Structure formats: C-alpha cells, structure tokens
C-alpha cells in the first residue's frame, strides 16, 4: 500500500486530494495544526473522516523537528505540501508569519526529505499569485514572476526551493502552479465563496447587501476537484517538473457576482464607478451589492489567465468543469447549508 502525507488536511484541496488518494488505495496521513477547536468539516462533508486508511496527525509547518519526526515515523512514498497561510489579504497584515509558514514551511519538509530519504516524491502547491504583475498573457511555465503580496513572495521562495532541491539532490520534487480553484469546500474569506454564501443568504431573506472590494480583478477560476487530479498526475509523471494548471478562461469578480445571482434567478444592473459602484436587482431596484474599499489590497493582481497546454500534453490533464457549473454548484450548496443552519 502506497503512503502519502498531505499537509493541511483541514483545507479545501487536501480534503479532495485525500478522497482521491483513498479511492486509489493509498494510506493517507493528513496533517493538521493544533487549534482550540477542531475544524474537520471538509473531510466530514466528503464522508472520509472515518475511513480506515485515513490517519490524522498533528503537525505545524514551522516546526522543523516535527517535519523530521513525521517523515521518519511514516516513511511515505509521496508528500503533498498543501498547507500554507493561503489568504493573500491576510499576508499583508501578517507578512512574517506568512513567510515562515508558506515559505520556510516547504523548506523544512525538503530538508527532512533530503536527510531521511531523498527517494520520497514531493509536490509543492505553487500559485498563479507568483505571476502577480503579469509579464505575459496568458501565463505559462515560462512566464517570469513578479509577486504582488507577501504571500506571493513566500510562494516564490518555496517554488525555487523545490526546484533547487530537485536539481541539487536529485529529489523528485515538482511544483504545480495552480490558478484559482474553488468549490463548495472553499473558505468563506475567498471571494467566490463569500459571494455564493451571500447570494444564498440574500435569496433566503437572511442578508440584505453583499460588500466587496475590487470588482475589476480578473481570475482564471476552476473546480478544486479537477485540480487535485492534476496534482496526483504531476507526481506520477516520468520526471519531476513544473506544470501550470488552469482553465484558460478569465472573468472579473463582477462577472462572478452576476453568474451567482443568475443561479437564483436575479438579474443585476450595475451603476457608478470604483468605490461608488452598486449592483441593483433589476426587478425591484433594491441595492444588493456595494463596494467597500476596506476590502481593497495594498497591491493588486489585476489579471490572471493560465495556459494549461503543457499539463494537457504531458499529463493528459484538463479542467472539466465550466465556471457556470462551478458557480451554480456552490450557490446550491450554500442554500442547503444556510437552510440547515450550518455556518461553515
């Protein structure tokens, strides 16, 4: 039985990846950090939390000694490093913590692999945020980086550390540069889930207005479940490498809002500009969306659109779910949760 460690098992991607690997017969060791209250709702929603081959263990990414201990104890075949301080907005207020967790955290694991067993395969969760102020449209594996947040900077460090350990010590260490991917398991601090949860609440009469920041940001949004399949394939490739996973389509935050309200049969009419912009219900003129500059970031990533050709050619990977399907799936799931009084 193959053994995989997935860091950050309480997060969105780790839950879907654990489900995928358990289905393939792996023993999965999911790591979580100690918090005052547990947050295993994602693996509970997927109904894998009691799976006989899922083992949960405490691990904090910043603790090098724990990296050595878990790798020494488990002796895994593969490690998927998905844990991170992953919220771009918070990285501006907690830059040092973000650098330690998101940047050095990956290096801790690489050091432990190099020392204990360089044959362990390593996947690093890199990100389109590394492209930041983009140097090419669309962005591919060849596009230079220009990160625009402490999070992006920390991820560039972890990305290059991964490649450096591959080149220096011949470790099968690969990096997936993944564009935004969402799902009903997405955290509510991220814009898509914030929107779908609010649309659900507004349609149920539980909320009046949705407040957002930059409406013009463009993102290449896909479905997380499609993307974890790509992560798995990256570690099964003939050689370690870097791959972009993306849909190749980009839309604004405003477009996503329109799409989410369409799913509950509300059409939005937009007026005003920048912080004066509002979105109204076409039918009754009620204001449903307002811009609040408190959600603006000190530096913004304006436009992301990925070129997934290499992943398609070498891994046979393609994003299968359309943005319309994804958005509707998220709205429906949030309507059900809100009806049932679930707050996550």
Catalytic residues: 127, 129, 151
d(CA 16, CA 145): 28
φ, ψ of residue 223 to 5 degrees: the values are -95, 125
Name the closest residue to ligand GDR (Cβ). 217
Between 62 and 282, name the residue whose CB sits nearer to ligand NDP.
Answer: 62
Between 86 and 166, name the residue whose CB sits nearer to ligand GDR.
Answer: 86
The residues, any chain, with a CB within 8 Å of residue 72's CB and separated by 6 or more, are 112, 116
Which among 181, 164, 277, 171 is positioned nearest to 223, based on CA atoms? 181
Q: Which does 11 bind (CB under 5 to 8 A by kind): ligand NDP, ligand GDR, none?
A: ligand NDP
State the minimum distance, in angstroms, from the CB of residue 114 to ligand GDR.
26
Q: Which does 247 bind (CB under 5 to 8 A by kind): ligand NDP, ligand GDR, none?
A: none
Q: Which of 143, 175, 180, 250 binds ligand GDR (CB under 6 A)?
A: 180
Please choose, out of 34-42, 51-59, 125-133, 257-265, the segment that lies near ligand GDR by the rule CB under 6 A.
Answer: 125-133
Name the closest residue to ligand NDP (Cβ). 11
Q: What is the DSSP letter of 222?
A: E
Q: What is the DSSP letter of 293?
A: G
Burial of 275 (0-12, 13-18, 19+ CB in 10 A): exposed
Burial per residue of 149-159, b for 16 or more beta-carbon CB atoms within 10 angstroms, e otherwise: bbbbbbbbbbb
State the minimum distance, in angstroms, from the CB of residue 215 to ligand GDR.
6
d(CA 91, CA 311): 29
- 253 in contact with ligand GDR (CB under 6 A): yes
Angle, helices 253-262/323-339, rounded to nearest 10 degrees = 60
Burial of 305 (0-12, 13-18, 19+ CB in 10 A): buried
Q: Which of residues 5-44 bind ligand GDR (CB under 6 A)?
A: none
Between 62 and 137, name the residue whose CB sits nearer to ligand NDP.
Answer: 62
Q: Which does 83 bind (CB under 5 to 8 A by kind): ligand NDP, ligand GDR, none?
A: ligand NDP
State the minimum distance, in angstroms, from the CB of residue 275 to ligand NDP.
26
Q: Which does 49 bind (CB under 5 to 8 A by kind): ligand GDR, ligand NDP, none?
A: none
Q: Which residues here bind ligand GDR, judged by CB under 6 A? A: 86, 88-89, 127-129, 179-180, 189-191, 194, 212-214, 217, 219, 253, 295, 297, 300-301
């Amino acid at each position: 039985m193959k053994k995989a460690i997935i860091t950050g098992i309480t997060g969105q991607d780790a839950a879907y990846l654990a489900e995928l690997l358990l289905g393939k017969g792996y023993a999965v060791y999911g790591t979580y950090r100690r918090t005052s209250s547990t947050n295993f709702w994602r693996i509970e929603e997927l109904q894998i939390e009691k799976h006989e081959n899922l083992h949960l263990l405490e691990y904090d990414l910043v603790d090098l000694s724990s990296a050595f201990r878990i790798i020494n104890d488990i002796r895994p075949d593969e490690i998927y490093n998905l844990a991170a301080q992953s919220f771009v907005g918070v990285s501006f207020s907690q830059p040092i913590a973000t650098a330690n967790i998101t940047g050095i955290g990956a290096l801790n694991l690489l050091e432990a692999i190099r020392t204990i067993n360089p044959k362990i395969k390593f996947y690093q969760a890199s990100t389109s945020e590394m492209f930041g102020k983009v140097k090419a449209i669309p962005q591919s594996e060849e596009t230079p980086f220009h990160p625009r947040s402490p999070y992006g900077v920390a991820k560039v460090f972890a990305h290059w550390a991964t490649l450096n350990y591959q080149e220096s010590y011949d470790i099968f260490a690969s990096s997936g540069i993944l564009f935004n991917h969402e799902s009903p398991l997405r955290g509510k601090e991220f814009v898509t889930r914030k929107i779908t949860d609010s649309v659900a609440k507004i349609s149920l009469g539980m909320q009046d207005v949705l407040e957002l920041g930059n409406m013009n940001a463009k993102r290449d949004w896909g479905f997380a479940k499609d993307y974890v399949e790509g992560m798995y394939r990256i570690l099964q490739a003939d050689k370690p490498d870097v791959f972009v996973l993306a849909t190749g389509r980009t839309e604004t935050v405003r477009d996503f809002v329109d799409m989410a309200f369409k799913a509950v049969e509300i059409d939005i009419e937009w007026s005003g500009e920048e912080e004066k912009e509002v979105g109204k219900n076409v039918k009754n003129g009620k204001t449903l969306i307002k811009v609040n500059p408190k959600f603006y970031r000190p530096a913004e990533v304006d436009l992301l659109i990925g070129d997934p050709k290499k992943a398609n050619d070498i891994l046979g990977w393609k994003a299968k779910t359309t943005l319309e399907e994804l958005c509707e799936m998220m709205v429906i799931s949030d309507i059900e949760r809100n009806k049932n009084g679930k707050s996550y």
